[in-house]
Chains A and B, each alone.
Chain A
């Protein structure tokens, strides 16, 4: 008897996969041979054959987006009847073809496949259906528009849905039984009964964890909204780089030792990074910009948004006119701004207007991360911690302190190469900080 093979479901949320055939009709396959590759939006997999035989029919085209759990090919003995396994729902790409006048009339198909599934659909307008029938259909991915209602007053009831399963999806369900193990990792062995056919594939047992519902604060709600909006509307990606921090560490040590003598503020690594960012942005106006859909607003000055962790949640106060400030001014103003945000009494005017944002998680030991852009800015720089790396020198290998930088940018506004050029320039500026100070 011919065996259908389904598109496995790689995880609960996966609805369809792109298929790439590794076999052709008429090929002989053994158990373990690769039948096809398939790709979700996140990963690629290969499907091995569970049976030996001849590939009788490929039910979908190479590159089709195929619904999970639907049949994709049939393996059996050459010449076997495979009509019962015809896929019930053709991939959506195939749909336009039906409109082509040159296609054979539908009647011919149903004649040819006497047991075949789908009588031409009654009505796609389903206004009467029992909750049970609806749930069963949803669970089994059945196409309700094909259902023939037999309940009182034209209501679709469970048995009508079961007919859909029997005719069009019986195979799918049976195959799901065979493949459920491989697909979702919970193994269904033994014979497949009709009851099993109507049952959903077994999934790992669900264990509810205890929980407490905590109401969101206003700040939390605003953050949630902003973050989700940012990620859902932009084309964000992140580059990670690092630079040799020896120079800035030395510089900082120097400043620290002469702080009192020169009446300097306590200049931190973050201040130094801010300063370097401001100077580097001069050469990269697209990174100091707002993306406005059909235009870019390139700023002449630099207003740096500083991500500050506060008791109420993340706040991003703006260091206005940073390009006009010396390093010690940046240091003084940044500290005052952060303190004001943490006190919870910061003016709302200071929480917007940034042209570029810096988020520093280095103190928390982050090696790299993907900061989320504060729209409509085009970039955000993540400052990471210092790790020790080795670089090859003429004498061999030398250990140096490497500070990580993660730049997230909006690919709608900036392409990868210019973004990386900005990051590279920034790294260079920081590695040669004494030179930068001279600028």
Chain B
């Protein structure tokens, strides 16, 4: 979609063939003896120790889950435990060369990744850095337990105890765990060591990790990102979306030199041959070898290769080579790391899908046993030295078990004493003008030189001029312009702000909100995303998680389903699942359509308001749009920003003085009385406001004075104004363009029924769209609420109007019959 790229028929129609390079498979075949010159004895022994710690940790959990005790210590762990026994060499090999600026993201099976990356970080950091991290993490709450009980004599040993304890306490839902117990086994992480969230949704980390890599590239941050997912996740669309996103052509061809090149990310597929019980190779997948997939993504074939994950040295070596590729901006990279989980998918897995013989074959080549043999054979260490390490590891794990089990040292959150402790973590509610105040924003021109900024300066900022005459569409500052003003201001204030979505750059978005931004901002701050809704939202989650501010856009709310997991499980959850460590300054813009039929004209606000952890707003006037966008962009919470396509061109009709040029905020959750009345309250959501105003005129013809309240926000929402209005009128109609069943209107109606029961003269009436498909534009008036519907509903359900005949059927009988039919 850029004019500099020419689509040439001669080129596209030319005959020829595509050639591929060979894909390396397990090229590294060295053993300890061969590498003695490259690693010290201490390093070899640390590899051995780290693998053992993971093995013992997982064995311990397995025993706790299956026998209820470990080394005579009883504990009941009701939560999940997806163990990685057998995968230790792959974990340790990967983590060996990663620093704390290299971010890892994981899966549901990631205890070993946390321990390996943590142990690697401990080895690299000096004592002062380690003490600083431990003392400042959650105000030292986790470290206090170690400080009180440790017998370690070195900071590094203490840090090791801290790591094992913090991970186990987290798995056991203790408040001293790395995420206060809110993450748990499948979502534990530790940001100070560069260990980012593990994800219980298969493939869930793919888009998020890619977003973190985008953050590193856009903001020129050091380090690479490792996305640890399993072979099972390759069946997930969003994983493909992520890989493509990280390698899209514009990164090399269109982004400026400082920001060009594929994203710094390694998709590390821990290929254990199973997606739970489904056998990927030979049963559920078609790739035959995971490494083959890279060739389908980029001409570089994602530098894919298969690596022997049963040999830690092979993995270390592969990472060393791949880091160079990333640093040369030749990423992304795909690694097919062969491994095998000897343990089941979880302790309840009876392994019905594999034979004992198969498991035994892998036990025979057990990476830890094999590595120990090699250490002895190469005379790196004596049997006694190795036994000492084994005993030390056992003691470390037992110590962590004893500490984590102890409810005094390691209490759980007390939801009886502090019942709001989780509620208070659902939103961060911070106001942060800029996520990085240390640098100037990248830009192509000064704001004052921007053509659209100049053009808007000449617009009339109210819908009517000083003589009370309506201002023409071309002269008035429209809702889309108000949004632009808010966004462009933030672009010049926060250097981390980036925005993307479908067709946003040259086109300015199909509704021209971004028109003019392309002239002001380089590609890396506004770009066209692939039509990958999962990746659009998922990368935004990763971008925000890594520390940036981002606006993601889905062209139509109807495409939300494509980004379902990213909105419902990721965007909404990571602030609270991290116990407030992570912030999520991400605005997800979605337009609500009309005119385009069943799959492009749906208001799905209720799908978002249902999910805890999302703020949801739906402004209907330019003043509110700019004010709410300012608030959203200045905050650190995920905001679903709904915009109706019906009203992008409206001028400001309500706010005295029109839309201010200067900065202001509209408080989220504060509904607004758009017209004062005395007899009936109409609470409208989004663009329905304007039909509600027309309805107020119809009501006036009947001698009924309607008060119109524009909800503006759905979550949060302060009911006080609405209740005050209902105290006055005794009657309320809630209206919006969503299909009535399961809508947020119904939520409003229920709360109003409860909160204003004694003042109500009739139950609140919901006038939403029909519970049908949205029909063609020509038939839409029978689907979306029309002004007369509100009067009809009032007549049928609230207070019959003398001499009035309803045209639409709002009777109770009709309601009963419709619901019986599922309508």
Residue from A152, A153, A158 in contact with B730 in the complex, judged by beta carbons closer than 8 Å:
A158
A353 within 8 A of B: no
Query: Smallest CB–CB gap between B733 and chain A, Å?
Result: 14
Taking CB atoms, residues of chain A closer than 8 Å to B761 are: 130-133, 151, 157-158
A27-38: CB near B (< 8 Å → 1, else 0) gives 000000000000
Query: Smallest CB–CB gap between B74 and chain A, Å?
Result: 40
Contact present for B812 and A153 (CB under 8 Å): yes
A280 to B799 CA separation, bound complex (whole angstroms): 75
Contact present for A132 and B798 (CB under 8 Å): no
Closest to A155 in B: B762
Query: Smallest CB–CB gap between A35 and chain B, Å?
Result: 37
A150 to B795 CA separation, bound complex (whole angstroms): 11
A159 to B799 CA separation, bound complex (whole angstroms): 9
A120 within 8 A of B: no
A134-178: CB near B (< 8 Å → 1, else 0) gives 010000000000000011110101110000000000000000000
Residue from B757, B758, B762 in contact with A152 in the complex, judged by beta carbons closer than 8 Å:
B762
B797 within 8 A of A: yes
Contact present for A152 and B759 (CB under 8 Å): no
A228 to B762 CA separation, bound complex (whole angstroms): 42
A151 to B761 CA separation, bound complex (whole angstroms): 9
A159 to B794 CA separation, bound complex (whole angstroms): 14
A328 to B760 CA separation, bound complex (whole angstroms): 73
Count of interface residues, chain A, beta-carbon cutoff 8 Å: 13
Given A153-B812, A158-B730, are A132 and B759 also a contact pair (CB < 8 Å)?
A: yes
Contact present for B760 and A131 (CB under 8 Å): yes
Counted as pairs of residues, one from A and one from B, with CB atoms less than 8 Å apart, the total is 40
B79 within 8 A of A: no
Given A153-B812, A158-B730, are A131 and B759 also a contact pair (CB < 8 Å)?
A: yes
> Which B724-778 residues sit within 8 Å CB-CB of chain A?
730, 757-762
Given A132-B730, A158-B730, are A151 and B759 also a contact pair (CB < 8 Å)?
A: no
A150 to B760 CA separation, bound complex (whole angstroms): 15
Contact present for B797 and A135 (CB under 8 Å): no
A130 to B756 CA separation, bound complex (whole angstroms): 12
Taking CB atoms, residues of chain A closer than 8 Å to B797 are: 152
B317 within 8 A of A: no
Contact present for B800 and A150 (CB under 8 Å): yes
A153 to B760 CA separation, bound complex (whole angstroms): 16
A182-193: CB near B (< 8 Å → 1, else 0) gives 000000000000
> Which B765-823 residues sit within 8 Å CB-CB of chain A?
796-800, 812
A118 to B757 CA separation, bound complex (whole angstroms): 29
Contact present for B758 and A157 (CB under 8 Å): no
A110-143: CB near B (< 8 Å → 1, else 0) gives 0000000000000000000011110100000000
Residue with the greatest number of chain A CB neighbours at <10 A, chosen from B757, B760, B800: B760
Taking CB atoms, residues of chain B closer than 8 Å to A150 are: 799-800
Taking CB atoms, residues of chain B closer than 8 Å to A151 are: 761-762, 798-800
Given A153-B812, A158-B730, are A132 and B760 also a contact pair (CB < 8 Å)?
A: yes
A36 to B238 CA separation, bound complex (whole angstroms): 88
Closest to A134 in B: B758
Contact present for B798 and A152 (CB under 8 Å): yes
Closest to A159 in B: B799
Query: Smallest CB–CB gap between B790 and chain A, Å?
Result: 16
Taking CB atoms, residues of chain B closer than 8 Å to A135 are: 758-759
Contact present for A152 and B760 (CB under 8 Å): no
Contact present for B762 and A130 (CB under 8 Å): yes
Taking CB atoms, residues of chain A closer than 8 Å to B762 are: 130, 151-152, 155, 157
Contact present for B758 and A131 (CB under 8 Å): yes
Closest to B759 in A: A132
Taking CB atoms, residues of chain A closer than 8 Å to B730 are: 130, 132, 158
A150 to B803 CA separation, bound complex (whole angstroms): 13
B237-267: CB near A (< 8 Å → 1, else 0) gives 0000000000000000000000000000000
A220 to B799 CA separation, bound complex (whole angstroms): 52
Taking CB atoms, residues of chain A closer than 8 Å to B800 are: 150-152
Taking CB atoms, residues of chain A closer than 8 Å to B760 are: 130-132
Query: Smallest CB–CB gap between A137 and chain B, Å?
Result: 12
Closest to B753 in A: A131
Closest to A135 in B: B758
A133 to B760 CA separation, bound complex (whole angstroms): 8
Query: Smallest CB–CB gap between A158 and chain B, Å?
Result: 4
Query: Smallest CB–CB gap between A43 and chain B, Å?
Result: 34
Closest to B762 in A: A130
A158 to B727 CA separation, bound complex (whole angstroms): 12
Query: Smallest CB–CB gap between B794 and chain A, Å?
Result: 10
A406 to B721 CA separation, bound complex (whole angstroms): 59
Taking CB atoms, residues of chain B closer than 8 Å to A133 are: 761
A132 to B681 CA separation, bound complex (whole angstroms): 15
Closest to A158 in B: B761
Known: A130-B762, A131-B759, A152-B800. 20 other contacts (CB 8 A): A130-B730, A130-B761, A131-B758, A131-B760, A131-B761, A132-B759, A132-B761, A135-B758, A150-B799, A150-B800, A151-B761, A151-B799, A151-B800, A152-B796, A152-B798, A155-B762, A157-B761, A157-B762, A158-B730, A158-B761
- Taking Cβ atoms with an 8 Å cutoff, the residues of A that contact B are 130-133, 135, 150-153, 155, 157-159
- Shortest 4 CB-CB distances between A and B: which pairs? A132-B761, A130-B761, A132-B730, A158-B761
Could you show 10 A-B contacts with beta carbons less than 8 Å apart? A131-B760, A132-B760, A132-B761, A133-B761, A151-B762, A152-B762, A152-B796, A152-B800, A152-B812, A157-B799
